[in-house]
Structure 1
């Protein structure tokens, strides 16, 4: 299964809507948990999601903006 940039945007804004500023902390906890389990694939996915959450919280992206990953 592939997670698209738009999937990440949707998930990020869903977390921001539900958890506000705590969304980035929750994503960070998930990163730590996945690292502790040695799950590299999920660690990378949560790192990407945390980055998009930070962008959403800082106003660098908006809800309707099409994203591309580099």
Structure 2
């Protein structure tokens, strides 16, 4: 059951949070280490979620193919 729900798009969106949005000290450290760069988005972008889900399907297919 765990394996299924954690790959659902709404759950990935809820879980996919950049660490700099949780702590001001981490955000300041990130900004020092990446001068001139924009902060990453707080939530994981939808296109990244789609690629994760598709990548999981490919990996699962390869696993089944090895069993044949």
Fold similarity call, TM over 0.5:
no
Q: Larger C-alpha radius of gyration, 1 or 2? A: 2
TM-score, length-scaled by structure 2? 0.34
**TM-score (norm. length: structure 1):** 0.33
Instruction: Choose between structure 1 and 2 for higher RCO, CA contacts under 8 A separated by at least 6 residues.
Output: 1
